[in-house]
């Protein structure tokens, strides 16, 4: 099985977080997002404890809410004492409604509008991650109008290629995010920030990319190397000693058994040794390190269940199995060619030798969940399980073809409960006038 929270029970059914997936499909209907709350909490603790142990100070993970954003997630983050990274007023609003303590929130975005900035300040967001000088001016003006001094991290681009797919590689110099160190713009960004009375620079940020397999530790250590060298230069020139070094998110997860398993704790430990040694060699007080994991907290805590419909065989060509969802609940193959592991949940012990494309119900050929998968002989009514869908699936779902979004059902200690209910047809029309 692709993840240790997946098993097979005596009825030959796939289990997830110890629960029978067929029972869950019957109870909640399909398509259905399942999320293993126990695993999410384990991941939060792993990051939090490891960072505290080996980096100390105020080092901590911020959960990147963009990976899976709904009220219950922020309640879990609140309960786990995790800080969060939020990217829009909508995410801020969701966290607020969950009673999330906003002083632990960091507000990201490459194009925060004046309205976004005002809203985040009104909500008491602890820190902004500023993307450029124009944002600083707007934030300074709005903070001044509101009589507050807003904490800021400055987002920099260290010029690192994380060897992932282009849409999620963000740390390169030509990125739309942040200010590049190489071009001198990062220094100008800092100088400008220091001149603004209603902003307080408390650190630097970078994010190299997402779904990064940093097996030898070079990607994050290279980023830290460049960021700390910049820190030292700025300390010497302007006397700025930042409290935080935020190295972003991005640790990769296993979608198929060809992907490596990242040992997150070992990776963080190695990073900690590197950061401390580097800081010491530069004569810097070691900043507290922040990381922004999204995918690696929720991805393999997720599974999507569908009901198989039409099975189409085109002799000499290929086979299709159509499911009752598709690119509306999981656009990742359509967007990035992402890989997935798929099982027939009610035939979990059967031999998988039927090659087919698993496709959705939308009216376009690109609506593919995964091409060329091997499944047991499929039939209409089978329950199809797509694994590792906890990150960037519900979060990126749409209503294309007027298809309602599936519910999110949480699994915790052998129980299941609905965290986000299934959209109704009336929900689809609620803004139609
Ligand atoms: N921090 C920043 C500034 C980010 O831009 C991101 C992701 C993260 C943290 C979290 O990265 P993670 O740990 O989840 O890899 N929709 C794409 C992924 C986009 C990632 C965008 N930024 C996908 O489905 O693969």
Q: Where are the domains of the chain?
A: 6-36+300-428, 108-293
pLDDT at 311 > cutoff 80:
yes
Burial class (CB in 10 A: 0-12, 13-18, 19+), 163: middle
| Residue among 210, 212, 219, 254 whose CB has most ligand 1 atoms within 8 A, to mutate | 210
Residue 178 in contact with ligand 1 by CB distance below 6 A? no
Confidence at 213, pLDDT banded by 50, 70, 90:
confident
Which atom of ligand 1 lies at the shortest distance from residue 67's CA? 14
With contact defined as beta carbons under 8 Å apart, do 204 and 245 qualify?
yes
What is the third-level CATH fold of 6-36+300-428? Answer: Lyase, Ornithine Decarboxylase; Chain A, domain 1 (2.40.37)
Q: How far apart are CA 179 and CA 159, in angstroms?
A: 10
pLDDT at 67 > cutoff 70:
yes
With contact defined as beta carbons under 8 Å apart, do 12 and 349 qualify?
yes
Residue 8 pairs with which residues in a beta bridge? 14
Q: How remote is the CA of residue 383 from the centroid of ligand 1, in Å?
A: 30
Residue 161: per-residue pLDDT: 73
Instruction: Please write down the HEC assignment for all residues of 85-119.
Output: EECCHHHHHHHHHCCCCHHHEEECCCCCCHHHHHH
Mean pLDDT across the chain: 96
Residue 248 in contact with ligand 1 by CB distance below 6 A? yes
Average pLDDT over residues 190-217: 92
Q: How remote is the CA of residue 168 from the centroid of ligand 1, in Å?
A: 7
Burial class (CB in 10 A: 0-12, 13-18, 19+), 380: exposed
Before 31, cis peptide (omega within 30)?
A: yes
Residue 411 pairs with which residues in a beta bridge? 36, 416
Structure tokens at 46: 């792993």
Strand 60-64 to strand 288-291: parallel, antiparallel, or no bridges (unpaired)? parallel
| Residue among 47, 62, 64 whose CB has most ligand 1 atoms within 8 A, to mutate | 64
Q: How far apart are CA 251 and CA 20, in angstroms?
A: 30
Structure pTM? 0.96
pLDDT at 165 > cutoff 70:
no
Residue 389 in contact with ligand 1 by CB distance below 6 A? no
Q: Which among 356, 362, 363, 387 is annotated as catalytic?
A: 363
Q: How remote is the CA of residue 61 from the centroid of ligand 1, in Å?
A: 14
Residue 175: per-residue pLDDT: 84
Helix axis angle, 218-238 to 264-282, nearest 10°: 30
Instruction: For residue 161, report the phi and psi dihedrals to the nearest 5 degrees.
Output: -100, 110
Radius of gyration of the chain (CA): 23
**pLDDT above 90 coverage of the chain, percent:** 93
Residue 170: per-residue pLDDT: 62
In this structure, the residue with its CA closest to atom 23 of ligand 1 is: 392
pLDDT at 168 > cutoff 70:
no
Residue 217: per-residue pLDDT: 66
Confidence at 171, pLDDT banded by 50, 70, 90:
low
pLDDT at 207 > cutoff 70:
yes
Residue 166: per-residue pLDDT: 62
Which atom of ligand 1 lies at the shortest distance from residue 292's CA? 9
In this structure, the residue with its CA closest to atom 24 of ligand 1 is: 392
Least confident range from 217-221, 235-239, 288-292: namely 217-221
Residue 155 in contact with ligand 1 by CB distance below 6 A? no
**pLDDT above 70 coverage of the chain, percent:** 97
Q: How remote is the CA of residue 121 from the centroid of ligand 1, in Å?
A: 24
DSSP E strand stretches across 261-388: 288-291, 302-313, 319-323, 342-344, 354-359, 368-375, 383-387
Q: How remote is the CA of residue 249 from the centroid of ligand 1, in Å?
A: 7
Collect all residues with Cβ–Cβ distance below 8 Å to 299 and sequence separation of at least 6.
67, 253, 255, 388, 389, 390, 391, 392
Q: How far apart are the first and last CA of the chain?
A: 48
Residue 250 in contact with ligand 1 by CB distance below 6 A? yes
Q: How far apart are CA 388 and CA 301, in angstroms?
A: 7
Q: How far apart are CA 157 and CA 174, in angstroms?
A: 9
Least confident range from 218-227, 289-298, 305-314: namely 218-227
Average pLDDT over residues 160-173: 66
Residue 67 in contact with ligand 1 by CB distance below 6 A? yes
In this structure, the residue with its CA closest to atom 16 of ligand 1 is: 392
| Residue among 179, 294, 391, 397 whose CB has most ligand 1 atoms within 8 A, to mutate | 294
Between the CA atoms of 177, 180, 185 and 188, what dihedral angle is there, to the nearest 10 degrees?
A: 80
Q: How far apart are CA 71 and CA 87, in angstroms?
A: 15
In this structure, the residue with its CA closest to atom 5 of ligand 1 is: 207
108-293: which CATH number, 3.40.1280.10, 3.30.460.80, 3.20.20.10, 3.90.180.10?
A: 3.20.20.10
Q: How remote is the CA of residue 216 from the centroid of ligand 1, in Å?
A: 21
Confidence at 362, pLDDT banded by 50, 70, 90:
very high
363 noted as active-site residue: yes
Q: How remote is the CA of residue 67 from the centroid of ligand 1, in Å?
A: 7
Which atom of ligand 1 lies at the shortest distance from residue 108's CA? 3
Which atom of ligand 1 lies at the shortest distance from residue 395's CA? 16
| H or E element, residue 373 | strand 368-375
| Residue among 86, 88, 249 whose CB has most ligand 1 atoms within 8 A, to mutate | 249
Structure tokens at 165: 């797919």
Residue 392 in contact with ligand 1 by CB distance below 6 A? yes
Which atom of ligand 1 lies at the shortest distance from residue 338's CA? 25
Q: Which residue has the tokens 């999110």?
A: 408
């Amino acid at each position: 099985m692709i993840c240790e929270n997946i098993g097979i029970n005596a009825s030959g059914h796939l289990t997830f977080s110890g629960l029978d997936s067929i029972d869950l499909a019957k109870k909640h209907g399909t398509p259905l997002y399942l999320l293993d709350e126990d695993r999410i909490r384990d991941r939060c603790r792993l990051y939090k404890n490891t960072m505290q142990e080996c980096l100390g100070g105020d080092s901590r993970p911020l959960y990147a809410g963009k990976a899976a954003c709904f009220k219950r997630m922020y309640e879990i983050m609140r309960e786990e004492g995790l800080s969060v990274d939020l990217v829009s007023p909508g995410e801020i609003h969701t966290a607020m409604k969950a009673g999330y303590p906003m002083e632990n929130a960091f507000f990201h975005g490459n194009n925060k509008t004046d309205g976004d900035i005002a809203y985040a300040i009104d909500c008491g967001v602890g820190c902004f991650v500023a993307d450029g000088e124009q944002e600083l001016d707007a934030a300074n003006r709005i903070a001044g109008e509101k009589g507050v001094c807003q904490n800021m991290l400055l987002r920099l681009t260290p010029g690192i290629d994380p060897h992932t797919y282009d849409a999620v590689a963000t740390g390169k110099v030509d990125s739309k995010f942040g200010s590049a160190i190489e071009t001198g713009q990062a220094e100008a960004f800092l100088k400008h920030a220091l001149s603004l009375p209603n902003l307080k620079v408390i650190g630097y940020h970078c994010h190299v990319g997402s779904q990064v397999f940093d097996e030898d530790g070079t990607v994050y250590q290279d980023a830290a190397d460049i960021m700390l060298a910049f820190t030292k230069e700025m300390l010497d020139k302007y006397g700025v000693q930042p409290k935080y070094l935020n190295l972003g998110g991005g640790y990769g997860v296993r979608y198929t058994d060809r992907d490596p398993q990242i040992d997150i704790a070992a990776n963080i430990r190695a990073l900690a040794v590197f950061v401390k040694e580097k800081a010491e060699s530069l004569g810097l007080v070691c900043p507290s390190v922040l990381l922004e994991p999204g995918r690696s907290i929720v991805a393999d805590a997720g599974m999507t269940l569908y009901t198989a419909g039409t099975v189409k065989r085109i002799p000499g060509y290929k086979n299709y199995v159509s499911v009752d969802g598709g690119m509306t609940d999981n656009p990742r193959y359509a967007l990035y060619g992402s890989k997935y592991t798929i099982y027939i949940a009610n035939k979990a012990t059967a031999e998988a030798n039927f090659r087919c494309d698993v496709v959705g119900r939308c009216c376009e050929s690109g609506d593919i969940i995964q091409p060329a998968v091997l499944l047991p002989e499929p039939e209409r009514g089978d329950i199809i399980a797509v694994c590792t869908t906890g990150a960037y699936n519900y979060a990126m779902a749409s209503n294309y073809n007027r298809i309602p979004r599936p519910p999110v059902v949480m699994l915790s200690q052998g129980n299941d409960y609905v965290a986000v209910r299934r959209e109704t047809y009336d929900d689809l029309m609620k803004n139609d006038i």
